[in-house]
Chain A
């Protein structure tokens, strides 16, 4: 592309010609005028190589013109080396050398693309049971999840698992993408059968607010990914991209009570800001206003918000998701790990917690062991009191257990050395999740969701 442009630029009056080029571009794509950071929508994908997940992602990148010439060339080169007569888009998403050798995606890979409307981040993970922890990780930061189904295979065990994880993590938007429609003659009947099977699965979900959408796809030739498929006139709904474009990133956050975990205290100690004492943190749950009566946890001290700062400006109100600095009316002792909430909206303050844990470490989780619980900005020493069961991700129920192995999910009771101030995960996501840190190795050994 760059090479093609060169001759244009090299004519007598380069500058004028370049501007003409930009004018044309403006008409084609209004994105040119971006002057501000765009909103971001995070998407989780999971699936195996066979489902055509990489093809779907590659397609999204290709059709939104997010793949660069050098990347396309690299894909062509590698595809040729492997003897393929089509473009192997999986090479656009598979990251590390070891994985390329094995031909599977391990871990969580992040893929980026943008349209005139917004920026997208895809957290891509493998779909197999031994990568449950990766899927949980990917889903933890995503607002939307795409569950891929091979139209020839229909709803299988893996579909159950992906949906289970999206339920557990309470990902609000789920897109069920029925792929490889080209291999079932674009049959509406096949699609409807799969949709009905999935709806039956959805009936088992306890997360009723979850929005599930269904789209038939042929990712390999781009049908219903960005452009409408001409082979499926019976489908009148949106394409994947149309659907994503219509989602408001803010709307998919759960609304709840204000939770402001204090990260650090800002004390400039300069002449100009001699007595300044600001509490820095990220705001979760809901908006906060100047004048709001607040309670600081764990001390239960009460105060009022006197100022809201963002960099060198002050605001009357801040929306959830903002990283701000709060000043309080009276000079009280607040440190990292404390939490500021609105008075009258106190969270639960307890030392024994019932949780669901997804285990991520090769060293098994057993009762009686000690871990550090990191909950927001707070760290507390914890003892694993008892392990009740493991929960099967295929909706077949709970099994009694005394330990959790890597990639297993189970119900665990934990005793804390100090009380946490939390909400149930189902009620307020950010304030109901925590990680377990191994005291010996410092690794993040598991993630927990408080009941």
Chain B
């Protein structure tokens, strides 16, 4: 018998990045949202360190407005893999008066997560935060580095980024600084789905078509939920939908879909011509929305 390993360049790159993180930093953490990208990161981290356990904790910044399916999934995954999970709540930041809850038609806790995240980084002295952001998601992300240095205030200086050449990643930082790390920078939405299919990775049920109480606004499908502001004239109806991204309920729009399996989801992505972040209500606010949020430390 002769077995020859041929790995995919994207997978190899991601595993390589995880191993650089553990070697170049003292206290890394994986930012876990319960979405498919962060679930993919967990699988890649498993592969990077097997047969050892994933050598860093997961951090979930909980807005309190998550889909219950996501939380259930998170807890199951953590228990199965024996991982350490840290949860920090946006509600606590609100109660402590550090942030003020938004009100009105487009109110969301999405922006408020930044403060809770930065506080958690300071509390645990994390020096590397691993995230599932991809360069294909949004224009401002296209220039993000794999190792992206943030200052004491969590800010991103996009004009002063370190060049990244070959596989050489420079994670040298000063005390107080931290680095955001993006192992799947070079993956596209389709790559992530293909990988989930290839690996048989489990993902939360809301990614597949299901019946949900929703209402329509601005041509988008919003979840009917106590966490989502809704005008009286915005009528609730039942539709067959699924979600392409899983964020806070108040900022994640559904799409009509009958895709019940990953193969059908992949097929739908190939035919669909609306981008993934097109279903993110927060990005619609303005073209430069993401870039501004990133400069302030948003993930």
Residues of A within 8 A of B (CB): 1-2, 5-6, 9, 14-15, 18, 21-22, 25, 29, 31-40, 65, 67-72, 74, 94-98, 107-112, 114, 119, 121, 133-134, 136-137, 140-141, 249, 263-264, 266-270, 272-273, 276, 278, 280-282, 287, 308-312, 314-319, 321-325, 336, 360, 372, 374, 376-377, 429-430, 433-435, 437, 442-444, 447
Given the interface pairs A36-B198, A37-B11, A112-B136, the reply to whether A97 lies near B274 with Cβ below 8 Å is no
**Bound-complex Cα distance A444 to B273 (A):** 39
Write out the residue numbers on chain A whose beta carbons fall within 8 Å of the beta carbon of B159: 98
Contact of B278 among A35, A70, A322, A429 (CB under 8 A): A70
* Contact A95/B139 with A140-B165, A308-B5, A311-B50 known, Cβ cut-off 8 Å: yes
A314 to B2 alpha-carbon distance, docked (Å): 11
> What separation, in Å, do the CA atoms of A442 and B161 have in the docked complex?
12
Cα A22 to Cα B185 with chains together (Å): 30
B250 to chain A, nearest CB (A): 20
Contact, CB under 8 Å: A315 / B273: no
The reply to whether the CB of B103 lies closer than 8 angstroms to some CB of chain A is no
> B246-271 CB contact bits vs A (8 Å, 1 = yes)?
00000000011010000110110011
User: Does B76 sit at the interface, judged by CB under 8 A?
Assistant: no
Whether B48 and A111, one on each chain, are in contact in the complex, defined by CB atoms closer than 8 angstroms, is: no
Residues of chain A with a CB closer than 8 A to B140's CB: 95-96
The residues of A that contact B270 with a CB separation of less than 8 Å are 25, 29, 31-32, 34
Residue of chain B at shortest CB distance from A442: B172
Q: Is the interface of A mostly helix, strand, loop or mixed?
A: mixed
Within 8 Å CB of B168, what residues of A? 374, 376, 433-435, 444
Is the pair B5, A447 in contact by a Cβ cutoff of 8 Å?
Answer: no
Q: Knowing A96-B140, A267-B52, A315-B4 touch, does A2 contact B19 (C-beta < 8 A)? A: no
Neighbouring A residues of B19 by C-beta, 8 Å: 263-264, 280-281, 323
B163 A40 Cβ-Cβ under 8 A: no
Question: When A25-B270, A268-B53 are in contact, do A35 and B198 touch as well, CB less than 8 Å?
Answer: yes
Looking at the assembled complex, report how far the CB atom of B264 sits from the nearest CB atom of chain A, in whole angstroms: 7
* B155 at interface, CB cutoff 8 A: no
The answer to whether A316 and B10 touch (CB under 8 A), given A22-B267, A69-B274, A110-B135, is no
A40, A67, A276, A316: the one contacting B51 at CB < 8 Å is A276
22 residue pairs of the A-B complex, CB under 8 angstroms, read A2-B272, A14-B258, A22-B267, A25-B271, A39-B8, A67-B273, A70-B274, A95-B139, A107-B161, A110-B185, A114-B188, A119-B191, A268-B52, A272-B51, A280-B48, A311-B47, A315-B4, A319-B6, A321-B12, A374-B170, A433-B165, A433-B168
Tally of contacts, chain A with chain B, CB under 8 A: 235
- A141/B165 contact (C-beta < 8 A), A95-B142, A263-B20, A437-B172 known: yes
- Please indicate which of the listed interface residues B23, B47, B291 has the most CB atoms of chain A within 10 Å of its own CB: B23
A22, B264: Cβ atoms closer than 8 Å: yes
> Could you tell me how many residues of chain B have their Cβ less than 8 Å away from some Cβ of chain A?
74
Q: In the bound complex, do residue A437 and residue B170 qualify as a contact, i.e. CB atoms below 8 Å apart?
A: yes
Q: Please, how many angstroms separate the alpha-carbon atoms of A318 and B15 in the complex?
A: 15
Q: Is the CB of B5 within 8 A of A282?
A: no
CA distance A32 to B7 in the complex (A): 22
Partner of B7 from the list A140, A323, A377 (CB cut-off 8 Å) is A323
Asked if B195 and A37 sit within 8 Å, CB to CB, the answer is: yes
Say yes or no: B16 contacts A137, CB within 8 Å.
Answer: no
Task: Check if A2 sits within 8 Å of B275, measured CB to CB.
Answer: no
Please, how many angstroms separate the alpha-carbon atoms of A287 and B6 in the complex? 10
Beyond A107-B143, A110-B143, whether A249 also contacts B9 by CB under 8 A is yes
Across the interface, name the chain A residue whose C-beta is closest to B1: A316
Query: Smallest CB–CB gap between B275 and chain A, Å?
Result: 4
A428 to chain B, nearest CB (A): 12
Q: Are B174 and A282 in contact (CB under 8 A)?
A: no
User: Counting CB contacts under 8 A, is B158 at the interface?
Assistant: yes
Return the 6 tightest CB-CB contacts between A and B, nearest first. Answer: A323-B15, A68-B275, A268-B52, A442-B172, A315-B5, A70-B278
17 more A-B residue pairs beyond the given contacts A317-B3, A377-B20, with a C-beta to C-beta distance below 8 A: A1-B271, A2-B273, A15-B258, A36-B198, A69-B278, A96-B291, A97-B291, A110-B143, A112-B135, A141-B166, A282-B167, A316-B4, A322-B5, A323-B11, A433-B168, A434-B168, A443-B162
